[in-house]
Structure 1
Amino acid sequence: MSVYDEIFFTENIINVNKIVEKIIFSTGILPVCFYIFTALGLWHISTSYCLFIFCFSAVASVIVYFLNRSQKTQVLSMIVSLLFCTLYVCVLGESGIINISIVFGIVPFISCLYYNMRLTQIITITNLALILVTNYLRSFTIMDNYLFTIENFSRHRWYVSHAISISLEFIFVFLVSFSISRRSKKSLQTMMDLMLERDKANKELKEKNANLMQTQMDIIKFVAEVLGSHDLFTGRHVIHTQKYVGIIARQLRQNGCYIDVLTDEVIQLYETAAFLHDIGKIHIPEGVLNKPGRFTEQERELMKVHPAEGNKLLDFLPPIKNGQLNAIAKDMAFYHHEKWDGSGYPVGLKGNEIPLSARIMAAADVLDALVSQRLYKNPMSFDMAMKIFEEERGTHFEPCIVDAVFSCRGQLESEDVKFKEKESAENEKELNWWKEYHEKLAQLST
């Protein structure tokens, strides 16, 4: 039996025990009814017998109640409860108050609720044995009454005839209860097997989706690395901004901004999409991207093409996360140079017309451009970068995004330090290589 099955049947035993506990407790009502009906002259049951039955019910109720309070005694409670029910029926039957042939099937049918075929078999056979004993004791009561005044009708003959009759009826009860128990057990087992298979299938599907998602993320990171081989600083820039986007987005949410939008899942998509925001630079010539000095006006206009080029390239990206990542990546790539006051490019959108992902991306993009090394400039201090952000509040950047940048400055600066420590040696090597490349190119031109 699987752990799943064990949990289900353990819970079922607990639930059925509670039901049987209520049944045993309710049996205390019967002796009260016996006493009332006797007082009204409808029955003739002694007060002492009513008290005995009431005490029997009370003791059984108390024992079962305390057994049901502990998780460890649930199986014992199940067995004791069924035995109490059997004894109760037998005690009533021995006095002739109830007709045993009608009621002796109650306990076997109750046992079916536990969906345990072996338990049903044991309880049913035990029930038959006790009922036969009960009828034997009952024969002594009947002997004192009018039945045995009939010629050739003895107590033993009465008992044998009733024992045969009860046994035949009991075979029917046994078959019915056993069939119910077996069929219920089989049906439940089938249902649980199906649920288990479904859970396994869902788990496998989730694992496959997770693996697929990881593969897609690895491909995106690979694209970023390829971009880095084309442009000295863009490859590292997208890695930096990916981290900054996540920090700024979470700080925005912490500050109470865009709480409904910035869920953990959406922020994760923002972080992943940030890898692709500069993908359009692949279409920009290396000589321009890696130029040591300032861009000419013509080169600057050429650089402004990269958002539109990135938007086109991302049309070929296969759908990821049902296309959610694709839409965010396209927004970031196309609109991350738009400005809050509408003075940006390539469209000139203003305010909330700019997608939130692109507004956050713009802040991360500018921050890294200011504090990082470039071929044409040295890195700026964080204090100076924060001063520029304050000056551009409400013009380049949305005010609440500037507030978020200031709120999480410590995190951003810490990440910048880590990046510089990790990349400084490689940056210097690459920087010298490109400077020599452009010097030789200039010599060849002359």
Structure 2
Amino acid sequence: MMRITMIGTGYVGLVSGACFSDFGHDVICVDKDAAKIEKLEAGVMPIYEPGLDALVATNVKAGRLSFTTDLAAGVADADAVFIAVGTPSRRGDGHADLSYVYAASEEIAKAVKGKTVIVTKSTVPVGTGDEVERIMREGAPGKEIYVCSNPEFLREGAAIDDFKRPDRVVVGTEEEAAKEVMRAIYRPLYLNRSPILFTARRTSELIKYAANAFLATKITFINEIADLCEAVGANVQDVSRGIGLDGRIGAKFLHAGPGYGGSCFPKDTLALLKTADDYDTPVRIVEAVVQVNDARKRAMGRKVIKAMGGDVRGKTVGILGLTFKPNTDDMRDAPSLAVIQALQDAGATVKAHDPEGVEQAAKVLKDVEFVADPYAAADGADALVIVTEWDAYRALDLARLKGLLKTPVLVDLRNIYPIDEAEKAGFDYTSVGRGNGLVGELAKAEG
């Protein structure tokens, strides 16, 4: 059993802390937000993540997991202190805002007593660990402190399983004392044979950014191929399967859609670009990925308008799915934001449904009517648009939907319905990259 303190109870900190405690470690989660800590102590989660509430409740009851606003007390006896505070994109230049990381480091330096490993769990640019170490040396001179990097690779919506059954655990340190502590912390993963990759600290920091940039590139690549498929009359789902079966490519992240969003890919690709620029080593592929993805989300709004005949002024559009992906309430950089903005700018009225994201969506969307179920979104609307592929939308009663809509326009930006099924139900159906272009036009001409 190790004594672990987690600074920050956001997505990474709370999930990591809960999972570490479930491994049998003694975990204290620290946050400056007293209201958040009160809610956590009452069993109210600040985020939606499947299974997290039960995991927290079990380990709080077992006495392995606790919450506090007192950083000094939480850090004093810890074997390892994980920094899991936010690193959002800094306004104006896209650099990662490290002010929270450095502020936490200064407080930690004042509170540590004995041998302590300080772990940057937050996603931070290359060299951040060096600065954290400098802060520790100045704030806690003569104390046995080791600073290492341990980036997270959690998928929102599947974070607990990802934490307990990871593809790999990356730890950036060359200090044997720190390696010993990190091995002990992750020893419960031994039976799962999850590899622990020890690297230099700067290498570990870069692995996280490189991984996310590569995944963002795969998404953006298949989205551009989807556009080509539409133009030539090919099916992007078959193309994805055809290339994904190649073991060198792999099938994951090859699903065409409205572009990536969320808390990681948008800010991490920008931060990588800024780091590359600082070191005069441009990464042109990632530059293109960021530009194409930003343009794509706006283009999806135009795609909906085109499917509705080119003019949406005075019309109502039903939106299914607001969060950037299913099984989360995260609205950060969600494609729905750009789609809805484009529709509203063109004069449309929007009403929307999401199984978990309405509370967060209401904070960032204006003049949108939020409804209780998918059918209410369709009722009286001139078109229905699927933006997020929640399971709740995968087996809707298409006949009922068609009956509720003023006009039978269905725009499926996630390709969750077979074309023949949607058309058989009587919809004027538009999807992404599935032969909406040349072949469809030829078929109409021949007909």
Same fold (TM over 0.5): no
Specify which structure has the bigger relative contact order, considering alpha-carbon pairs within 8 angstroms and separated by 6 or more residues. 2
Bigger radius of gyration among the two = 1
Structure with the higher fraction of residues in strand conformation: 2
Structure with the higher fraction of residues in helix conformation: 1
Please indicate the TM-score interval, normalised by the length of the shorter structure: under 0.3
